[in-house]
Structure 1
Amino acid sequence: MSTILTDTAATALWHDLVREAQRRGAAALDDEIEAYLVFLLMRHLRDAGLGGHVLALDYFAALDDAGVSRRDNLRDVGDRCLLIAGLYPQQAQRRLVSLRYFFDLGSRAYADLADAARAAYAELFRRLAATFGRLVRVLVEVRRIGGADGLDAFGRHALGIADPAAAAREFPGAVVLPAPARTA
């Protein structure tokens, strides 16, 4: 039987940070999605290899996997896309890839994971796929709370994709273009 170990103080601090980001970003998450985001942040806190992944290749490799390996690898792709889109949008710029790529790939990975997961987890990953933009919005606020000096162009773009209404309020006079329609 495996044991889940948590550092209660660190967990509480992450929960407080995520809740404050939700408040600032007017992007409420339900308790289960909030807990997932907190543990994602804790799990990837020291993920030095985040920038070293070619996520499309990781995604296709995950699709070729089976069982637990498939689920774990799809989750990792979704998680990494979420972190890049919300916390590290400059990585998209360095890779010469649009933020929409990370939105689409991350939400697709979570949706595929929902199809591959046991029933108990399937609904969680369906909801993660459906609320991907709101999760990015919360992470943009986490980044701001963490002391990011305003948002650079890619950070503003991430905010615009995640929450066009908030982007229009925060950057009056900016032209907010609708995102291209997603294809299934």
Structure 2
Amino acid sequence: MFAAFRNGTPVEVWQALVQEAYERTGRRLDESSESYLVFVLLRYQADSQLLSHAQGLDWLQALELVGRTRADALRDVGDRCLLVAGLFPGVAERRRVSVDYFVSIGRSAYQGVADATRQAYAELYEQLARSYRELVRTLDAMRALPRSTTPGITH
């Protein structure tokens, strides 16, 4: 099954992996959340600094900013926390914090984006904040897929 999409575009590969995660979890994300998750995976697939961030400090620094800069910084924190919680839970263990630490910061960051942006974005980020655990579950299911099918994900 995986061989059919491994050679597709990055969007096709990530979408197929999200679909496979649905099969594992038996749960689907709404269309907006699924699209956003694929966007995050695309955006960070080659980020070699992803795991080097101190998310708690980045979140506090983002709260000191204003306007669009604040919203962008909070979005970045929320995205990185999502990826760490879902794809790299071992990072939490090595840092002696729980995965819930990243979930809490990430949800709060997305809610901060919702509070700081216009209505269309606010609705999306409020939805993402509400479904944060479901997003993490989807990524966790992706992490459990065979290694040869997950580009850029090391277990």
TM over 0.5: yes
Percent sequence identity over aligned pairs: 46
**Cα distance change, pair 80–146 in 1 and its aligned pair in 2 (3 A):** farther
**Equivalent in the alignment of 1:46:** 46
> Where do 4+ consecutive residues of structure 1 move more than 3 Å?
none
Contact 1:81 1:105 in 2 (8 A): yes
Q: In the TM superposition, what is the alpha-carbon distance from 1:147 to its structure 2 partner? A: 2.7
Q: In the TM superposition, what is the alpha-carbon distance from 1:127 to its structure 2 partner? A: 0.6
Contact 1:27 1:137 in 2 (8 A): no
Q: CA RMSD, aligned part only?
A: 1.6
**Equivalent in the alignment of 2:10:** 10
Cα distance between partner residues in 1 of 2:11 and 2:26: 22
**Equivalent in the alignment of 1:62:** 62
How far does the alpha carbon of each residue in 1:75-112 deviate from its partner, in whole angstroms, 9 at most, with x for none? 01111111111100011011111111111111111111
State the TM-score, normalizing by the size of structure 2.
Answer: 0.87
Cα distance between partner residues in 1 of 2:95 and 2:16: 32
Matches for 1:1-184 after TM superposition, within 5 Å: 9-147=9-147
**Equivalent in the alignment of 1:171:** none
Cα distance between partner residues in 2 of 1:137 and 1:27: 9
Structure number with higher relative contact order (C-alpha < 8 Å, ≥ 6 residues apart): 2
Paired residue secondary structure (2:9): helix
**Cα distance change, pair 146–112 in 1 and its aligned pair in 2 (3 A):** farther
Paired residue secondary structure (1:145): coil
How far does the alpha carbon of each residue in 1:9-41 deviate from its partner, in whole angstroms, 9 at most, with x for none? 221121111111122112210111101000100
**Equivalent in the alignment of 2:151:** none
Q: Which runs of 5+ in 1 are unaligned?
A: 1-7, 149-154, 156-184
Cα distance between partner residues in 1 of 2:130 and 2:21: 19
Cα distance between partner residues in 2 of 1:54 and 1:84: 11
- Count the aligned residue pairs: 142
Q: Look at both structures and tell me which one has the larger radius of gyration over its CA atoms.
A: 1
Cα distance between partner residues in 2 of 1:71 and 1:112: 7
Q: Which runs of 5+ in 2 are unaligned?
A: 1-7, 149-154
Cα distance between partner residues in 2 of 1:31 and 1:100: 25
Cα distance between partner residues in 1 of 2:127 and 2:118: 15
How far does the alpha carbon of each residue in 1:128-181 deviate from its partner, in whole angstroms, 9 at most, with x for none? 110011111100111111439xxxxxx9xxxxxxxxxxxxxxxxxxxxxxxxxx
